[in-house]
Amino acid sequence: VAPNGQGTLAQRNNNPGNIRIGEDWQGEKNPDTDASFEQFSTPQYGIRAIAKIMITYSTKGINTIKEIISTWAPSNENDTQSYIDSVCASTGYDENFCLDMKNPIVLEKLVKAIILHENGQQPYSDAIINQGVSLALE
C-alpha cells in the first residue's frame, strides 16, 4: 500500500479499479478531493467496489471477460482488446468463458487481474484483496 502522496493515482485514492465518480459507495472518502475518480477510505473498500460492479454486471448477463471488460473499459477510452488479453492472461480464463461471480475464487482472480491492468503492478496483498471481495459478497 502506497504511503500518502506516493504510488499511482489509483493507489492514493484507494481506488485500484479507477472507478469514476458517479455512485454512492460504502467506504467512500468524504469529502472527495478528486474531481474525476472515486476515493475510498481503505483499499478494501475500493476493491469491494470493483467486485460489486462485477456482481452487478453478472446480474445483467455480462458474464465473460470479453463482455465484462468491454463494458468496464469501453474502446472510446481504452485499448479494450489489449485489456481483455491482459485479464485473460492473468486469470487463465478464455475471453468467452462464462464466469460465476458468486464464486469468491473466480471473483478474486478477476479483481486481481483488473487491478494489475489498471495499476501496471499488483500493490495489494492477497489478504487485502480477499477482504475487499468478502465485503462485496456479504
pLDDT over 60 (residue 4): no
Residue 3 has pLDDT above 50, yes or no: no
Instruction: Say whether pLDDT at 2 is over 70.
Output: no
One DSSP character per residue, the chain reads -PPTT-S-HHHHTT-TT-PBS-S--TTB-SS---SSB--BSSHHHHHHHHHHHHHHHHHTT--BHHHHHHHHS-TTTS-HHHHHHHHHHHH---TTSBP-TTSHHHHHHHHHHHHHHHHSS--S-HHHHHHHHHHHH-
User: What's the whole-number mean pLDDT along residues 45-64?
Assistant: 98
C-alpha cell read off for 77: 477510452
Residue pLDDT, tens place only, 59-102: 999 999 999 999 999 999 889 999 999 999 999 999 999 999 99
What pLDDT is attached to residue 31?
80
Chain segment 102-136, per-residue pLDDT in tens = 999 999 999 999 999 999 999 999 999 999 999 99
Per-residue confidence (pLDDT) for residue 8, from 0 to 100: 86
Q: Report the C-alpha gap between 111 and 53 in whole angstroms.
A: 10
Q: The C-alpha cell of 75 is what?
A: 474502446
Report the alpha-carbon distance of residue 19 to residue 118 in Å, rounded: 10
Task: Calculate mean pLDDT across residues 21-39.
Answer: 90
With the C-alpha atoms ordered 19, 103, 110, 12, is the resulting torsion angle positive or negative?
positive
C-alpha cell at 109: 482472480
- Read off φ and ψ for residue 77, nearest 5 degrees: -120, -15
pLDDT of residue 6: 72
